[in-house]
Amino acid sequence: MYIHFEGELIDLRNIIITEMKNLPLEEQRIEVVERKGLGHPDTICDSIMNEVSVRLSREYIEKFGTILHHNIDKSLLAAGEVETRFGGGVIKKPMKLIFGDRATFEANGIKIPVREIAIETAKRWFRENLRFVDPDEHVHYQIEIQPGSSALTDIFKRGGRILEANDTSAAVGWAPMTKTEKIVLSTEKYLNSPEFKKRFPESGEDIKVMGLRRDRSLELIISMAFVDRFIENEKDYFEKKSIILEEIREFVERNSGFEEIKIQLNTLDVPGRGIDGIYLTVLGTSADGADSGQVGRGNRVNGVISLNRPQCSEAAAGKNPVSHVGKIYNLLTHEIAKDIYASVSGIREVYVWMLSKIGRPIDQPLITAVQIIPDGTEPFDKIRRRSERVVDYRLDEIEDFCMKLAYGKIPIC
């Protein structure tokens, strides 16, 4: 986007496209990728807080025709206490879900039931995603959401089609995903699919997949919470674990294409120690009695934690979708990177960096830097021009993108 100012043509977008000489990650010798599954305590926090933002956004639009200030991006899921038993354990202390941070409770004399929306949204998410969690009995709720500061709420009062950034923040996205990233992501999704749960009901939703690639060899270390009501004794546990491990192996071999594959499941297990030597839960998540969760510690916005890649420090989950660049740019950089890779020929790998400046319109980043590893088949000037057009187009369409975020049409974890 350019404007004329005192006789000069000024670039408001500050788009810089540069060539990288790096070796693409797919060709590097070592790669480490992690995926925290649906029932992992961190994923629970990210998912619920983002859904609260979606519900609040809809409420604000319905009542006021626009999205008001809110950031529901602080949360803690404190683990409860259980006694696991073969054939089914007991809940001794429920989990506690603590909500933060800021929201608009009233505008134009109309009150918004923020507390009720937050709790009901959480309960609905538990019912729809964790088979054995009763949100009324197994979870307590603590609301610490407060009204926002005058400086940040004023951004929304100023109005306009495009709001100003509420923070100075940076984000980075990339494309394409490597084979390791894809198989780590798809393995967890398969293990938490309705089909898999129907066949293996003893498999809980709390699953973590850690992938290590050495050259063309892949090792997956998987943690899966077993549900104690489906396990009769220690022997039954190891038999069912063995069957599931073989099922995982067949899935990975069908879908990954690596020369050598090694898969391990629940490596802390020790035969002969009874219930203390195996991974059992009562509710299918370690949050029922072992592990707490927190917003921002889970998957990045493309669904995985890729340790070889540059990372954004912002948690996207729960942030408002129209001015909080920690959410908008976090997801938009990945979308732009995917668009460039898909539509511009001659590219092996692309990284997109965006930096905001608080108070500057979100469609005018302080800088958008695109780093491209070319494949040598196209002149780089041609790649640069086409890539810049993609960035410009996506920034022109940022209002539509923000509304997709507001209505929860783009996943964040």
Between 160 and 317, the higher pLDDT residue: 317
Distance of CA 9 to the CA centre of its chain: 39
Work out the percent of the chain whose per-residue pLDDT is above 90.
91
* Residue 25 identity (one-letter amino acid): L
Q: What number is the average pLDDT over the span 316-321?
A: 96
What are the structural domains, with CATH classification, of the chain? 2-24+167-176+309-406 (3.30.300.280), 41-157 (3.30.300.10), 179-294 (3.30.300.340)
Residue with tokens 């859904």: 51
Reduced to 3 states, what is the DSSP secondary structure of residue 75? strand
Q: What number is the average pLDDT over the span 210-231?
A: 98
Residue 209: band (very low, low, confident or very high) from pLDDT cuts 50, 70, 90: very high
Residue 159: band (very low, low, confident or very high) from pLDDT cuts 50, 70, 90: low
Q: What number is the average pLDDT over the span 200-224?
A: 98
pLDDT in tens, 163-191: 899 899 999 999 999 999 999 999 999 99
Distance of CA 129 to the CA centre of its chain: 16
Q: What number is the average pLDDT over the span 338-355?
A: 98
Reduced to 3 states, what is the DSSP secondary structure of residue 186? helix
Characterise 284 by phi-psi region: left (phi > 0), alpha (psi -120 to 50), beta (else).
Answer: left
Q: What residue spans of 130-178 are helical by DSSP H?
A: 150-157
- Could you tell me whether strands 95-103 and 70-78 are parallel, antiparallel, or unpaired per DSSP bridges? antiparallel
Structure tokens at 273: 């120690």
Structure tokens at 263: 């898969």
> pLDDT at residue 354 above 80?
yes
> pLDDT at residue 241 above 80?
yes
Q: Which residues pair with 78 in a beta bridge?
A: 96
> pLDDT at residue 262 above 80?
yes
> pLDDT at residue 11 above 80?
no
- Nearest 5°: the CA angle 326, 328, 331 is 100
Work out the percent of the chain whose per-residue pLDDT is above 70.
94
Distance of CA 326 to the CA centre of its chain: 13
Whole-number average pLDDT of the chain: 94
> pLDDT at residue 152 above 90?
no
Between 153 and 390, the higher pLDDT residue: 390
pLDDT on residue 13: 77
Q: What number is the average pLDDT over the span 239-258?
A: 97
Distance between CA atoms of 324 and 329, rounded to whole angstroms?
8
Q: What number is the average pLDDT over the span 117-138?
A: 98
pLDDT on residue 154: 63
Q: For residue 216, what is the DSSP state? A: T
Residue 284: band (very low, low, confident or very high) from pLDDT cuts 50, 70, 90: very high
pLDDT in tens, 47-106: 999 999 999 999 999 999 999 999 999 999 999 999 999 999 999 999 999 999 999 999
pLDDT on residue 150: 59
> pLDDT at residue 4 above 90?
no
pLDDT on residue 161: 76
pLDDT on residue 158: 66
pLDDT on residue 151: 58
pLDDT on residue 224: 98
